[in-house]
Homo-oligomer: A and B are copies of this chain.
């Protein structure tokens, strides 16, 4: 059955699934087939919770608002499992088998019910060091949907590029594109060139031109950024042009750095919002690659459900 926000549970709830990131919290109640019975979301990400003891109350409040049965167990993914979160769920080390993600789950100290937090994944070899929390559960969802190999691009504040081989994370890399766009466009000298910029997408000619520029041999982003300011002063480039150009340089540089992980002409699976999917698809196309968009929300729910099934299937949680 389908259910909207705040709908009370009417079916046979099997488990609750929570995607608990730095800035957002999402919760679903699902039945034994994984169908969503009710859902809820809020801005109560890890960053808003002052101390570990607060997590239990926040979670319980949302579960009660959904009339979740007493004793319904919960599977959690994301930053709630960081050292500074509810309780640390130590990283699995790549190569990491996503089908066994649940084996690294850590029981959280809830006063109310059984709650497990799934581990993140870290990389020690090949260097450089890297870490993820949350994306591994989305990827587990992809694996359970049969997409168990290939290159995944998960853009955002800190984009993750992940190489899967038969359900195993072989290697991955984080690219700070989103955070750098935010800092540079709002706080660097370039903000003077993009004040009042309108939101534009992959259709803006400056975006693709800049993405291609960033894919040229010898390109250096730190040596090219200031040209955005100089273009505003010398050629009358508009604020919208400038913002599109910054976006194109950063995303183009990101694709250029990661394209070696997929064969020429290959496909990259993108897990992102619609607008970011558009930008990354265009940059990938400029690099001769195809994009296959995936629904990140469905993936994380699917990855959490698989873990919940492994963790809770042998107990009676119906009421």
Complex: A151 Cα to B222 Cα, angstroms: 19
User: With A and B bound together, what is the CA distance between A212 and B133 in angstroms?
Assistant: 30
Q: Could you tell me which residues of chain A, from 175 to 220, have a CB within 8 Å of some CB in chain B?
A: 175-177, 179-180, 183-184, 187-189, 218, 220
Q: Are A224 and B179 in contact (CB under 8 A)?
A: no
A124 close to chain B: CB less than 8 A: yes
- Roughly how many angstroms separate A229 CA and B174 CA in the complex, as a whole number? 10
A136 within 8 A of B: no
Copies in the complex: 2
List residues of chain B with CB within 8 A of the CB of A260: 218
Min distance, Cβ A154 to any Cβ of chain B, angstroms = 13
Whether B183 and A234, one on each chain, are in contact in the complex, defined by CB atoms closer than 8 angstroms, is no
- Which of A6-14, A100-108, A250-258 lies at the binding interface? A250-258
- A170: interface (CB < 8 Å): no
B189 touches A226 (CB 8 A): no
Q: With the chains together, A123 CA to B226 CA distance in Å?
A: 12
A130 within 8 A of B: yes
Residue numbers in B under 8 Å from A174 (CB-CB): 223, 226-227, 230
CB nearest neighbor in B for A190: B176
In the assembled complex, 12 residue pairs joining A and B whose CB atoms fall closer than 8 Å, in A order, are: A122-B233, A130-B226, A130-B230, A131-B229, A131-B233, A131-B234, A175-B222, A175-B223, A176-B225, A183-B184, A223-B253, A223-B258
